[in-house]
A and B are shown apart, each in its own frame.
Chain A
Amino acid sequence: MAIPVRSSAADRTRPTVWDGVIVLLVAAAAAALLWTLRPAAGSAVMLRITLDGTVVGEYSMEEAQALSPLAIDAPWPVTLEAEQGRIRVAESSCPGRDCVHTGWIDAPGEQIICLPNKLIISLIGEHDASTEDFDVIAG
């Protein structure tokens, strides 16, 4: 019958200085890993409102919800509604009202466009594009 192999450390009863060094290094590495993988400060979803190329407002979703309904002074006035981390154009006096028909958006990278107003409602934040198998959607 084979005799189980035992390391020399298994025979020791007291930790050595090297054990302490390794524990410290592993702890430091773990802390560094946590720090590296922490949610970035800017990863919280933000609402950005761009009117004809100019950013006219940027809010956290909590701020947007507190301000809801949020009126935008565009050529065709628009009203935004925010609730529970999502946002939509609730009312618009623009002709096609495509912006209203877009409905709710809730994920970073999503946008609502109002062409007559040259208005972009964007949700900004960490967007993991690496999981997508395309660069752009046509159509």
Chain B
Amino acid sequence: MSRRSVPVLCLILLLSLSGCSPAGGEAVQEFFAMDTLMRVQLSGPKAEAAVQAAVAEVNRLDRLLSRTGEDSDVARINAHAGDGGEVTVSQETAVLLAQALEASAATGGAFDVTIAPVMDAWGFGTSEAELRVPAQDELSALLPLVDSGALHVDTTRNTARLDAPGAELDLGGIAKGYAADRLMALLAGYDVSSALLNLGSSTIAALGTRPDGGPWRIALRDPQNEDGQLLVLALSDQVLSTSGGYERFFEADGVVYHHILDPETGMPARSGLLSVTVVSDQGAGADALSTALYVMGPEQALDFWRTRDTFECILCLDDGTVLVTEGLEDAVTFKGDANGYTCEIVRR
């Protein structure tokens, strides 16, 4: 190299270091909705307007679907439980309730939106309640109220009715997935081709690709170590929903009680699973299924997967095995071996 080329090289290096900042048209917003912290990040020609529209849409859905909202569709259905009155709701509430009933029927009741009274007994109903272990007598008295058969939905007339007095709906297990579906459709109208919608960590929608053109990379938390990760999933135009006992739990008399309740027993599901992740192009379905598969346990969950082609899943077992269904084989980069996990691909 000649001596005179040295400064030239330095200058070229300098210019490359200063680089170019990413093109505009990116927007990010964090906000509280649906009892969790959400984060929407996207890029597109109308990024700021798209983000504001996304936040407004989630808040609108929250007002419709929140159990604690003063005049929400769900609160009004609950208020009329058992009085025979049909409640007129928005069309989307009716459609979502119908979806919830379908999920309940398909999973043999492992997912059930009428579990609210039992959730309240534990204090898992809202983030503001005190957590406690209910007495068995109390649970036994509440369990008959957990019955999706008491929920009647008419998607033609947009009405809903809960038959049993004291019964209550809680859409916490499906509403965020539904919000993901709504946002994916909404953002398409803003020409957004790249968005990551983090609807409270448990529900994440990956719209299009990263700004650099690659798929979005979603790490899956190690259920036993907050700072560790099991794997990284490369996803595009899909919704991911995760359910894990570690998300919300408390300890009483040396026993850990988590928030994923088995609708049959009213107790935290202990099915041999630490977490369940469902990936689908349909958010509401993914959300409901992640809870249902957790309650089912690994064997029943995989049997269920084999009968459907609408989703893929990742099951983290309490023996350290991570089962990945074959449709995700190419999307997964496994990292859990560092923490003692082993990964197996499950074939149909």
Residues of chain A whose beta carbon lies under 8 Å from any beta carbon of chain B:
9, 18, 22, 25-26, 28-30, 32-33, 36-37, 50, 52-53, 94-96, 98, 113, 115-116, 118, 120, 133-139
Contacts and interface: CB of A to CB of B under 8 A. Distances in A.
Contacts, number: 104
Contacts of B221: 137-139
B244 interface: yes
Contact of A33 (B6, B14, B123): B14
A33 B242 contact: no
A93 to B, nearest CB: 12
B13 A116 contact: no
Interface of B: 3-4, 6-7, 10-11, 13-14, 17-18, 30-32, 35-37, 123, 127-131, 196, 198, 201-202, 204, 210, 216-221, 223, 229, 232, 240, 242, 244, 246-248, 250, 275, 277, 333
Given A29-B14, A137-B219, A139-B244, 9 more contacts: A9-B3, A22-B4, A29-B11, A30-B10, A50-B30, A95-B123, A133-B217, A135-B218, A136-B204
Contacts of A30: 10
B247 to A, nearest CB: 7
A133 B229 CA distance: 11
11 contacts: A25-B10, A95-B128, A96-B127, A98-B248, A133-B333, A136-B204, A137-B218, A138-B242, A138-B277, A139-B220, A139-B246
Contact of B220 (A32, A98, A138): A138
A52 B127 contact: no
Contacts of A9: 3
Contacts of A120: 30, 37
B131 A96 contact: yes
